[in-house]
Amino acid sequence: MLKVKKNIMLQGTSSHVGKTVLTAALLRCLVDRGFKCAPFKAQNMALNSAVSSDGGEIGRAQAFQAEAAGIPSSVHMNPVLLKPTGEARSQVIIQGRVHSVMSAAEYHKFKPKAMEFVLESYRALSSVYDVIVIEGAGSPAEINLREGDIANMGIAEAVDSPVLLVGDIDRGGVFASLVGTLELLSESERARVKGFIINKFRGDKTLLMPGLDFLEERTGKKVFGVVPHFSGLVLPDEDSVGLENNGSCTSGRLKVSVIKLPRISNYTDFDPLKADPGLSVVFAESPSEIEGSALVIIPGTKSTIEDLLWLHEKGLAAAIQKHAAQGASVFGICGGFQILGKKVSDPFGVESGVAEAQGLGLLDVETVLNKEKSTFQVSGTAGFGKREFDVKGYEIHMGESIASCAPFAAINERNGEGVSVSDGGASADGRVCGTYIHGIFDNDGFRNALFESLGARALPKSSFSEAREASLSELARLFEESVEMEEVLRAIGL
């Protein structure tokens, strides 16, 4: 068993019960008490990823949790990242770098080796931080996944971590799911569970008390708190769940349509747009949904060619071309930028079995998908017309694009080193642009000026960074009010 300083783990009765957000909340609460803390998720399966401060690829959730903890992100915070590629296979990323593409069966055999990397990363974090807050994945009670588990009780036992079990009452059946999860654990695993957190509660807590009393009497475990359902905070969605009900936010006057690609990735790129009260953001799946848009955005994708073919099949390719021909604006990010070009080639079968596809032809760009992935944190300048702004973001892409049109941005720093690199492309009139920079809309000056030029009201100008920080503070306040923090500290051993 690995000996460390202090730790605690949040596991859930299922996916999407709110572990990611509650982990961030607990980290912020501990930091506010003066502890030096770090997040950790041994294995994450997600298409939402980020580039860590040390230049590797990790789950976007762990980058957000590092932000909550006020520390630089690291590949060690998410040593195993699985990115589904289709046909029951996933790209396996180990400590920030692509290892291989595996089927479920192949990955199952690889788990013992993966655990070595997981523990190596855990040691690296525990040598620096006072408290490690670990997030589980899915449910610890999945019978078919118990053997060789590295995501839930497997890592909890390896690092001797106490566990809080989180249930989502908004889904219904929270008491059955909490009790049932405990029943399916081994005796030693049940002993590791110190208690429960019930998440996303709506209504009068006094009406819940009989259920809480039953839960404690039945299990002998304490209910550490009941966290209320909340809305209006600028926090990233858990992977894919934010798009289950389309994900649109239609309160503003200026319409922005984001194409909801089947293999969409890094859709947190659009959190700043959804948070802007002047914008009406629609995730579009049909040509009719982009009508009347001031801006159409093609997002990142895990499979550029496959999603490009889907655009043609759905009639969206023609609709976007018509939109641009009428003088309206189109923007592409990463795979979306590649789609805007003339051609995308995949000679090594990196993303699919289709070797080549014709792009939308809106930018004079051709892309070749390579075997090696580029991952950078970047800074530089970008703009439109004669206006130029400092921007920061990150790149995650397999492709290399050759542009014969004007660049979109000039990158002057990658992973902390000075460079001079042109990024993306722009049409002669500046109405069609593409970039490899994820997080481009996080940059307040660029974003506000862009949408002002498209017709958004000039005031008030929104600050995404300020809204995110205010939301993290409010999240921590809600957690403090709802959860018995002294009991949590006792469980951790602080």
The CATH code of the domain that includes 291 is 3.40.50.880
| Predicted local distance difference test score (pLDDT) of residue 350 | 85
pTM value is 0.93
CA distance 382 to 392: 10
Same domain, 301 and 155: no
Q: Is residue 466 part of a domain?
A: no
CA distance 437 to 49: 13
Same domain, 228 and 263: no
CA neighbor of 154 nearest in space, from 185, 121, 195: 185
Q: Is residue 461 part of a domain?
A: no
Alpha-helical regions (H) of 304-375: 304-313, 316-325, 335-340
Instruction: Tell me how many domains the chain contains.
Output: 2
For 275-290, what is the mean pLDDT?
A: 94
Same domain, 76 and 50: yes
CA distance 68 to 475: 10
Tell me: pLDDT of 251 over 70: no
Same domain, 215 and 260: no
Tell me: pLDDT of 382 over 70: yes
Q: Is residue 94 part of a domain?
A: yes
* Run of H or E including 99: strand 97-103
Q: pLDDT class for 459, splitting at 50, 70, 90?
A: very low
Q: pLDDT class for 4, splitting at 50, 70, 90?
A: very low
Q: Is residue 1 part of a domain?
A: no
Q: Is residue 242 part of a domain?
A: no
* Run of H or E including 345: strand 343-345
Report helix, strand or coil for 38.
Answer: strand
One-letter amino acid at 235 equals: L
> Exposure of 84 by Cβ count < 10 A (0-12 exposed, 13-18 middle, 19+ buried)?
middle
Largest separation between any pair of C-alpha atoms in the chain:
70
Tell me: pLDDT of 308 over 80: yes
Name the active-site residue from 334, 397, 405, 433. 334
Cross-strand bridge partners of residue 197? 166, 225
Q: Is residue 152 part of a domain?
A: yes
CA distance 447 to 132: 35
Same domain, 481 and 436: no
Same domain, 310 and 224: no
Same domain, 317 and 412: yes
CA distance 109 to 116: 13
Mean predicted lDDT score pLDDT of the chain: 93
Same domain, 174 and 48: yes
- Between β-strands 343-345 and 97-103, what pairing exists: parallel, antiparallel or unpaired? unpaired
- Provide CB contacts within 8 A for 419, sequence distance 6+: 411, 412, 413
Same domain, 41 and 13: yes
Report helix, strand or coil for 71.
Answer: coil
CA distance 145 to 147: 6
Same domain, 475 and 446: no
Q: Is residue 320 part of a domain?
A: yes
Report helix, strand or coil for 121.
Answer: helix
Same domain, 292 and 414: yes
Q: pLDDT class for 458, splitting at 50, 70, 90?
A: low
Q: Is residue 244 part of a domain?
A: no
One-letter amino acid at 18 equals: G
| Predicted local distance difference test score (pLDDT) of residue 437 | 98
Name the active-site residue from 76, 323, 397, 438. 438
Residue 249 annotated in active site? no
Same domain, 294 and 145: no
CA neighbor of 122 nearest in space, from 74, 165, 167: 74
Q: Which domain holds residue 477?
A: 6-233+471-492
- 336/354: higher pLDDT: 336
**Which tokens sit at 367?**
């892309």
CATH number of the domain bearing residue 228:
3.40.50.300
